[in-house]
Amino acid sequence: MLGAALGRGLVGQVRGFSAMASQGLIFRQLFEPVSCTYTYLLADQKTKEAVLIDPVLETANRDAQLVKDLGLKMVYAANTHCHADHITGTGLLKKLLPGCRSVISKDSGAIADIHIQEGDEVKFGNFFLEARSTPGHTDGCLTYVLNDKSMAFTGDALLIRGCGRTDFQQGCPNTLYHSVHSKIFTLPDSCLLYPAHDYKGQTVTTVEEEKRLNPRLTKSEGEFVKIMNNLNLPRPAQIDIAVPANLKCGIQD
């Protein structure tokens, strides 16, 4: 009986995996330890076209080397938003990997080769990332959802058991609450969520986990706003350098 149940479970898992259009996807989660930022590399194994999400200046050389080692062709370096805690690696990557174009939301107010908004698709090979507008941490925050909705890159809108702060850069807790509930929590429960940061060493979560366990976003909107307005966080150390640089795509004078 136990064997049969286990068997079914395994078949279910295998089926679940093979049903994902993410077969043939190259995926790497990369880490920058000073700002605890995750950079994501996604590529089509067949066509070799690749995208980087949220590269960091200090680790841009590492990322470019990995792209070369894997024989990939970087088509886009995309940011989830105009970061305040680190300088984006986008500007340097454009130099290191000719042909790579920078992508950011139109609402970010930042310079980039391509400005996108809700519903736009960032294509790489036979895959694409759907842009969902998830403001609240900043006005221009995007969540990138893989075409088969098996994974999403939430930037600072949703962190593992947390969320981005809302006390500067046009932050608004009410807006963030609605963004997460309407654009991220409506994804399939099994959808893997990859944040822009984690400060405790966690790497990934799911929609189901966060809907059940996120200590802030499981609360009512009123309670959420109260929590966010009383965090009393220190100003990010790099904000005065990072924001002006990121408004220019990380290209420094």
Rounded to an integer, what distance in angstroms lies between the CA atom of residue 12 and that of residue 19? 10
For residue 229, the minimal CB distance to Fe ion (Å) is 18
Strand partners, 239: none
Which amino acid, one-letter code, is at 52?
L
Applying the rule CB under 5 A, the residues between 9 and 38 that interact with Fe ion are: none
Token couple for 81: 């938003």
Applying the rule CB under 5 A, the residues between 75 and 134 that interact with Fe ion are: 83
Per the CB < 8 A criterion, the answer to whether 156 and 169 are in contact is no
Q: Is residue 156 part of the contact set for Fe ion (CB under 5 A)?
A: yes
For residue 224, the minimal CB distance to Fe ion (Å) is 18
For residue 169, the minimal CB distance to Fe ion (Å) is 7
Binding-site size for Fe ion (CB under 5 A) equals 2
Nearer to Fe ion, 13 or 29 (CB): 29
**Distance between start and end Cα atoms, the chain:** 68
For residue 165, the minimal CB distance to Fe ion (Å) is 8
For residue 85, the minimal CB distance to Fe ion (Å) is 6
- Binding region for Fe ion (CB under 5 A) out of 50-58, 125-133, 152-160, 221-229: 152-160
Rounded to an integer, what distance in angstroms lies between the CA atom of residue 144 and that of residue 237? 27
Nearer to Fe ion, 23 or 229 (CB): 229
Rounded to an integer, what distance in angstroms lies between the CA atom of residue 87 and that of residue 220? 34
Per the CB < 8 A criterion, the answer to whether 179 and 141 are in contact is yes
Nearer to Fe ion, 138 or 150 (CB): 138
For residue 209, the minimal CB distance to Fe ion (Å) is 22
Reduced to 3 states (helix: H, G, I; strand: E, B; else coil), residue 178 is helix
- CA 91, 152, 177: angle at the middle one, nearest 5? 100
Instruction: Indicate the residue whose CB is closest to Fe ion.
Output: 156
SS3 content of the chain, % helix, strand, coil (to 5): 30, 25, 45
Nearer to Fe ion, 83 or 132 (CB): 83
Rounded to an integer, what distance in angstroms lies between the CA atom of residue 101 and that of residue 115? 11
Nearer to Fe ion, 32 or 156 (CB): 156
Fill in the per-residue mask, 35 to 74: x = in contact with Fe ion (CB under 5 A), - = not in contact.
Answer: ----------------------------------------
Where do contacts with Fe ion occur on this chain (CB under 5 A)? 83, 156
